[in-house]
Amino acid sequence: MAADNIDSAQVVLPCAEPISATIDFFTGHGFKVRTIMPADHPRMAVLQGHGLTVRLQVGADGSPGRLRLLCTDLTVAHESTAPNGTVLEFVPAQQPLVLPALVEEFVVMRAPVGSDDEFGEGRAGLRYRDLIPSRLGGRFIASHILIAQGGPVKDYVHFHNVRFQVIYCHRGWVRVAYEDQGEPLLMHEGDCFLQPSTIRHRVLEASDRMQVIEIGCPAEHETWADPDTPLPTGRNEPDRSFGADGHRFVFHQAAGARWTPSRFAGYETRDTGIGAATDGVAGVRVLRPTGQPVGQRQPVTTSHHSEFQFHFVLDGAITLQRAGDDAMRLQDGDSFVVPANVVYTLSEPTADAQLLDVTLPA
């Protein structure tokens, strides 16, 4: 490998879980976090300081040492071993986005009752509850994210390499700065962001008990820090495209949004506009029953033929029944994923019931 093709180098160091303790040690000695993944349960972090880049890797072999060299114009990774046993890893500087094969599964997750113990420690002090433990083979992730104590968030300017990522505010409020989207944006309950791939952003502050729902594809993706990009940038370019797919940023605000008939009889929908911004890759809507008296609402029996269908109960309650199974009464905070071609029924929604409805394609 020619020396002029090497973009940068990382010293790989083994690390035990939880990785946060080791990160705190390094940041306490002047290092800064540059990359971390996955966000909900970090197992890798890249830190820089004092002219050195360190890659903390859970499960890495600590002897001999390894140097990771990020190279331009390289498509196939390979290794070379020095006489002293040090291994040089030559890898592409820009890793292609890999979509794992979809492994479909019917998933129902219940909301925690009276405790935050189900929320694990994640990136930047955020706490995560996994809504799809199997990740459907690594294809999708859905997270219920909590900030228990409001105020400033210890976040940094960063971006993701993703196919799709959406943030829906379930409770409270959060203020976020986005690249080329003007001044920081205040998201309230019911509002929604589409974060297109590579858009720089930073969470600034949040209310007590702030909760958002985040859905992304693929499940595990890198979070890259970008300390050289100040936010806000001083520009407002709402039609700018981002990432390899050219998707646009979306800030959907619930206040004043229009409700229209949905694909489910007896329900109406509030569309976030994400289907248009992703050119049909993904759709994000909110569903609620129309105004008929509760006793006159007919059950909806349906199925789909899509790649992905996810629902989160935002308010109220509704009954879910998969064909051949017992009915399940779902409450605020419960969620479910339905595979393609599985027949299921929604019935008995309360008057205040609302469901987050995420589908790929739109």
Amino acid 74: pLDDT: 81
User: CATH says 132-251 is which class?
Assistant: mainly beta
What burial class does residue 192 get, using C-beta atoms within 10 Å of its C-beta: 0-12 exposed, 13-18 middle, 19+ buried? buried
Distance of CA 347 to the CA centre of its chain: 29
Map residue 343 onto helix, strand or coil.
coil
Cis check: omega of the bond before 133, within 30 degrees of 0: no
Q: How is domain 3-92 classified at the CATH fold level?
A: 2,3-Dihydroxybiphenyl 1,2-Dioxygenase; domain 1 (3.10.180)
- Tell me what pLDDT residue 64 has: 63
Q: List, in sequence order, every beta strand (DSSP E) within 23-150.
A: 32-37, 44-49, 52-58, 66-71, 78-81, 87-92, 107-109, 120-121, 127-130, 141-147
CA atoms within a 13 Å half-sphere pointing along the CA-CB vector of 93: 10
DSSP codes joined into one string, 254-287: -TTPPPEE-SSTTEEEEE-SHHHHTTTS-EEEEE
User: Identical fold at 3-92 and 260-360?
Assistant: no
User: What local confidence, expressed as pLDDT, does residue 322 receive?
Assistant: 97
pLDDT at position 54, please? 82
Segments in the chain below pLDDT 70: 1-2, 62, 64-65, 82-86, 88, 293-295
Q: What is the pTM of this model?
A: 0.84
Per 3-state DSSP, the chain is made up of helix, strand and coil in percentages (nearest 5) of: 5, 45, 50
Evaluate whether 125 touches 117 at the Cβ level (below 8 Å).
no
Phi-psi region of 266 (alpha: psi -120 to 50; beta: other; left: phi over 0): left
Question: Domain residue spans in the chain?
Answer: 3-92, 132-251, 260-360
Quick one: fold of 260-360? Jelly Rolls (2.60.120)
Do the beta carbons of residue 162 and residue 217 sit within 8 Å? yes
Q: For residue 189, give every residue at least 6 positions away whose Cβ sits within 8 Å of its Cβ, in sequence order, or none.
A: 169, 170, 171, 172, 173, 254
Query: How many residues are given for the chain?
Result: 362
- Identity at 142, one-letter amino acid code: A
Residue 203: what residue type? Answer: V
HEC states along 159-176?
A: EECCCEEEEEEEECEEEE
